[in-house]
Amino acid sequence: MFSNYLIGLREGLEASLVVCILIAYLVKTDRKDALKPIWTGIGVAVALALGFGCALEFGSQELTFQAQEALGGSLSILAVGLVTWMVFWMRRTARHLKAELHGRLDAALAMGTGALVATAFLAVGREGLETALFVWASVHAASDGTPRPLVGVGLGLATAVALGWLFYRGALRINLAKFFTWTGGMLVVVAAGVLAYGFHDLQEADFLPGLTNKAFDISGTIPPDSWYGTLLKGVFNFQPDPTVLQVTVWLLYLIPTLVLFLAPTGLGQRRTPTTAASDS
């Protein structure tokens, strides 16, 4: 459940910060008349993300087992690609996010109501679609027939909304550069597990060979139904009997991605002020 909580927290906080920056800027520039179109765009973006998630979940249930595994594996790989791009993008642009959003909002204000709705929709919608896809892939990888993964996501999103409100009210100040660096690194670890499970799905769908070629099997030492096996599964998508391909993919993704993400030239080495949305 922790990995899904992290996804909800990380992705939800990005969306919350975007919303806070947009709202705070309109309030401080005395353009409260533009708040309604902004909230409309945000609402449409949230509805689209929820609809996309429902379409993935219920649409895949109508497929054959082989088709489900092929779809799950393909979307898991796509989700990992999007999330990897997202964590690197946020590391690179977090310092300039407010200025970028302010510029877009100024242009939208000059163009009218429709542009305001579109600005809010695009700013929040991308985060929502990425979240829906990665959450679906992570839940698909970690699902054990219980609602715990979705509970984790829900708690993470609720925490993100609460933090966003505190930022807006000026009651909370944290170093967002460090926050996104640490959570980004943890999300890369989660993504590695999702990626490995995605390749396992493709093996079960007979798209890739080597399903019976196990790298190791420690099911006797770490039973999947034990509390610690469940914990490892929930946090890292750990599998006690992975295939050689899964282990290879996991290592080839995790090691170079973490090295690049945590390199000294990253955002964490630059001076980034402690941030609160009320400063926007």
pLDDT, tens digit (0-9, with 9 covering 90-100), for 84-114: 988 887 777 766 777 777 887 888 888 888 8
pLDDT, tens digit (0-9, with 9 covering 90-100), for 249-277: 999 999 999 999 888 654 444 444 444 44
| Residue-by-residue DSSP string for the chain | -HHHHHHHHHHHHHHHHHHHHHHHHHHHTT-GGGHHHHHHHHHHHHHHHHHHHHHHHHHHTTS-HHHHHHHHHHHHHHHHHHHHHHHHHHHHHGGGHHHHHHHHHHHHHHH-HHHHHHHHHHHHHHHHHHHHHHHHHHHHHH--SSSHHHHHHHHHHHHHHHHHHHHHHT---B-HHHHHHHHHHHHHHHHHHHHHHHHHHHHHTTSSS-TT-BS---TTTS-TTSHHHHHHHHHH---SS-BHHHHHHHHHHHHHHHHHHTSTTSGGGS----B-GGG-
pLDDT tier for residue 243 given thresholds of 50, 70 and 90: very high
Domain range annotation of the chain: 2-279
pLDDT, tens digit (0-9, with 9 covering 90-100), for 64-91: 888 888 888 898 898 889 889 888 877 7
Quote the pTM value: 0.70
